[in-house]
Amino acid sequence: MAKIGVQAMMLKGSFAEAGAFETLRKVGAIGYDAVEISQIPMTPENVAELDRSRGELGMDIAALSVAMETPKGMPGDSLKDHFDKIVDDAKRLDTHLLRIGMMPFPAMKSIDAVVDFAKQANEYAENLREHGIGLYYHNHHIEFAKFDGKYMLDIIAENSPAMGMEIDVHWVQRGGLDPVRTLAKYAGRTAMVHLKDYRIGELPEQAFGLLETGDIAGFMAEFKNVVQFAEVGEGNLDFPSIIPAAQAAGAEYLLVEQDELYGRTVWEALQTSYDNLVAMGHADLF
């Protein structure tokens, strides 16, 4: 049975201020007991606190995030330079899932670069498989650009058969596709799904002020930016259909995520998503 958890990108501020253990204690108090680690430095201190949270809080470390190469100007572990450490961290935290959050930006410059990325990722996936660890790719909207009639995500999948998928339903919708059909398409190789809603927000009052002054370009910029991230159940995505589709696709974890909070705290947002998911009848997945 799939388990609902939290994508820790939302919690990076709390991790930095309160530490991993105290942050996950608050996550657990809401009702979540699984977390996917992302944008959290895997320092010895953080790894130790994550491990402690497993023993003392019963927190399931669902997956760890990795890059193939550390981007210039950004810290972090990479499969190229820290392969053994990444494997050791995964084994210590009892997770068999690693995920690439996004292809490197230079890989987006051409279809040949996309193919090269996918083939390199496949080599790492094959090497990780020898350690009992799977590698998965997380989509945004850019992967639904078409090349000769094929979506970029399909090209990645075809050139990295050893790598699975982590489907983000918000970005699927923003890419113009149906999340349910996309989950069915990648059934059998999708271990994780991001539960992230898609909301059309209200035009802010300032937009109408721009209109009154004749700043049509400014108004149209606001008009184009009404697409928002939302708490699960607070937007327009059909989660009563999406969650069964994710389970049917073989997902082990369904991870709540919200990229922007629009003035709410992360704890308010996570509580709302939790309450809505329980109201949908999914209390058994926590």
pLDDT level of residue 76 (50, 70, 90 thresholds): confident
Radius of gyration of the chain (CA): 19
Q: How many CA atoms lie within 13 A of 92 on its CB side?
A: 17
Q: Which of 45-49, 65-69, 171-175 is predicted with the least confidence, judged by mean pLDDT?
A: 65-69
Is residue 124 within 8 Å of residue 79, measured between CB atoms?
Answer: yes
Mean pLDDT throughout 170-183?
98
The whole-number average pLDDT for the span 191-206 is: 96
* Six token digits for residue 100: 């690439």
Judge whether residue 74 has pLDDT over 80.
no
pLDDT at 71 over 90: no
Instruction: Report d(CA 37, CA 41) in Å as an integer.
Output: 9
Q: What is the pLDDT of residue 77?
A: 87
For 221, the token pair is 């910029």
Phi/psi class of residue 73: alpha, beta or left (left: φ > 0; alpha: ψ in -120 to 50)? left
Q: H/E element holding 36?
A: strand 34-37
Whether the pLDDT of residue 34 is over 90: the answer is yes
99 Cβ partners below 8 Å, 6+ apart? 36, 38, 63, 64, 65, 66, 135, 136, 137, 138, 166, 192
Q: Which residues 6+ apart lie within 8 Å of 9 measured at CB?
A: 38, 39, 257, 259
93 SS3 class: coil
Which of 61-75, 98-112, 170-184 has the largest mean confidence?
Answer: 170-184
Could you tell me the pTM of the whole model? 0.95
The answer, yes or no, to whether residue 25 has pLDDT greater than 90, is yes
Provide the mean pLDDT of the chain. 96
3-state secondary structure of 127: helix
How far, rounded to the nearest angstrom, does the alpha carbon of residue 22 sit from its chain's CA centroid?
Answer: 22
How high is the pLDDT of residue 264?
97
Buried b (16+ CB within 10 A) or exposed e, 247-258: bebbbbbbbbbb
Across 44-70, average pLDDT = 96
* 46 neighbors 12 (Cβ within 8 angstroms): no
**From 16-25, 71-80, 154-163, the region with the lowest mean pLDDT:** 71-80
Predicted confidence at residue 72, as pLDDT, reads: 72
Q: Mean pLDDT throughout 72-82?
A: 83
User: Token pair 């008009």 is at which residue?
Assistant: 223
pLDDT higher than threshold 70 for residue 73: no
Q: How many helices (H) and strands (E) does the chain have?
A: 12, 12
The answer on pLDDT for 154 being more than 80 is: yes
- % of the chain exceeding 90 in pLDDT: 95
Contacts for 171 with CB less than 8 Å, ≥ 6 apart = 139, 140, 141, 194, 196
Contacts (Cβ under 8 Å, ≥6 apart) of 41 = 75, 76
Q: Per residue in 245-254, pLDDT tens?
A: 999 999 999 9
d(CA 140, CA 212): 36
